[in-house]
Amino acid sequence: MYATLAKGYNVSELRVSIASHYFVVTHITPRGRTAVASFARKMVQMGFVRNSHRYIYSAVKTFAAATNNRSEYRFHRNTLKDFQEHLIVNYLVDDMVEWVELSIPPPMLTDLPVQPQWKDRDYQVPAINYLTSDEDPRAKFVALQTGQGKGYITMRAMSIIGYRTLVIVRPMYLEKWAKELKEVFDIAHEDLMVVTGSKHLMALLQLAQMGMLHSKIILLSNKTLQNWLKTYEHFQSETLEMGYACTPDRLCEHLGAGMRVIDELHQDFHLNFKIDLYTNVERSISLSATLVADDDFINKMYEVMHPAALRYKGEAYKKYVHATAVIYKIKLPNKIRCKDHVSKNYNHHLFEQSILKNDLLASNYFKLIDKTFQGSFLVNYKKGQRCLIFCISIDMCTVVTDYFKKKYPNLDVRRYVEDDDFSNLMEADVSISTMQSSGTAVDIPNLRTVIMTIAMASSQGNIQGFGRIRELKDGTRMEFLYFVCEDIPKHIEYHERKRVILRDRAISYRSVSIGEAI
């Protein structure tokens, strides 16, 4: 990596080195540190954090990075103008600040041919053109409706651009991405490398250092990268003696990667934001269908990372799912505990635990799910169609799966959580799963019905759950049904939020009251 000093500046109170996605502040004097630290505090998300047996208002996450000894601070490139103004306010001007523009490392060119059976759909072409354009922004963001092929669009762009590409995803999505990359691209087995765990990462970096890295695509676990970032921030250059052949900010340069891809940006958003603080690359692509949060500060950070005016949003939302609120009452409300004893906030985990502790409640709850299942999925059921039922806990998923297996021996019913085989989700007639496992980034073939038993506040979670259903072209009625207990105020509050969200996305919306059910 090469650096050039801006003309007329000398090292003084601090040095600012500017890369493609970040700027890093080093060589900081005590006077400069005061200004830099105060700017970093602007990047802190505040909220209530559990401390022993109570909640206190404190820092939640910092959307900046620093080494433990505070010898360097990292900020997002898109905050550079604000930082420059901040320095002026703190009387750090002219040659008191040294400005360095870091060159972007040259990418390794490669050939990624798309299999001939894959064709661009009309509505995908503008998105592909956006991603392959040389115009700003360098960091592209695609916000397409679920089911419109964000993954394929990205791969098509990778093929056209022709750079070695680093794809960073959650560990649970590595298998999915590896499978899809092999389906779309006409590449050999050795053209794709999957990296998970620090030892594998060190081996990858060593291969690149020896000039023996020949893979065209590197698929990297974001948790593995996160561990490296934490190690670097604690030990800095000493990490080179631990087995890492370079520092994290030189990753793309070291690999010869000219493209970096992050899927489902909204998940692990703080980590994905932080990855930008170590990224210097020719191009990047981020993907998500729901870059909208209930927290104003997070929305502000979304705007920092990908300004709304520069995002690709696609066509108007296409409606094809019928939404139904299933409203029920509790016969034994005193048996339900659903408030966290410390925060006093609603907790659906506690709600499910209360049900599972009482045989009568559990039996009635399973019957409620079954009744909803019969009145939606089994109506006009055709072989090959699939249903997805969301519960919040693994325990509930397990017992509901057992109940449905016994009730419907002719259907393929499977649980999909944590380390369960991915085929449990993709092949079963009925899958019972959690939002963490199946709420995002999975396309289930012929999914016709989603039953959401979880009462949750998150707009992103509700949109993602609804968005699991893809349009079927044969006129099949597709349904999203969610539970509301009218005896629990938070259920009603979340129901009102869902109603607003779904009326903009569903082809029809209705509420069905079934009286006492559990």
CA–CA distance, 306 with 258 (Å, rounded to integer): 19
Summary mean pLDDT of the chain? 93
Cα angle 3, 219, 127 (rounded to 5 degrees) comes to 80
pLDDT digit string (tens) for 90-120? 999 999 999 999 999 999 999 999 999 999 9
CA–CA distance, 413 with 183 (Å, rounded to integer): 27
DSSP character at residue 439: S
Is residue 201 over pLDDT 50?
yes
Average of pLDDT values for 378-406? 96
CA–CA distance, 100 with 16 (Å, rounded to integer): 6
Using only the alpha carbons of the chain, give its radius of gyration: 25
The separation between the first and the last C-alpha atoms of the chain, rounded to the nearest angstrom, is: 64
Cα angle 244, 247, 249 (rounded to 5 degrees) comes to 145
pLDDT digit string (tens) for 280-301? 999 999 999 878 888 999 999 9
CA–CA distance, 263 with 96 (Å, rounded to integer): 40
Q: 0.75 exceeded by the pTM? A: yes
Residue 385 exposed, middle or buried by CB count within 10 Å (0-12, 13-18, 19+): middle
Cα angle 489, 491, 497 (rounded to 5 degrees) comes to 110
pLDDT at 11: 57
Which of residues 334 and 112 earns the better pLDDT score? 112
- Domains assigned to the chain: 3-102 (3.30.780), 122-310 (3.40.50.300), 321-516 (3.40.50.300)
Stretch among 9-18, 77-86, 328-337, 441-450 having the lowest mean pLDDT:
9-18
Contact 282, 188 (CB under 8 A): no
CA–CA distance, 150 with 173 (Å, rounded to integer): 15
Q: pLDDT band for position 7 (50/70/90)?
A: very low
Lookup result for tokens 């891809």? 261
pLDDT at 220: 98
Is residue 4 over pLDDT 70?
no
Is residue 30 over pLDDT 80?
yes
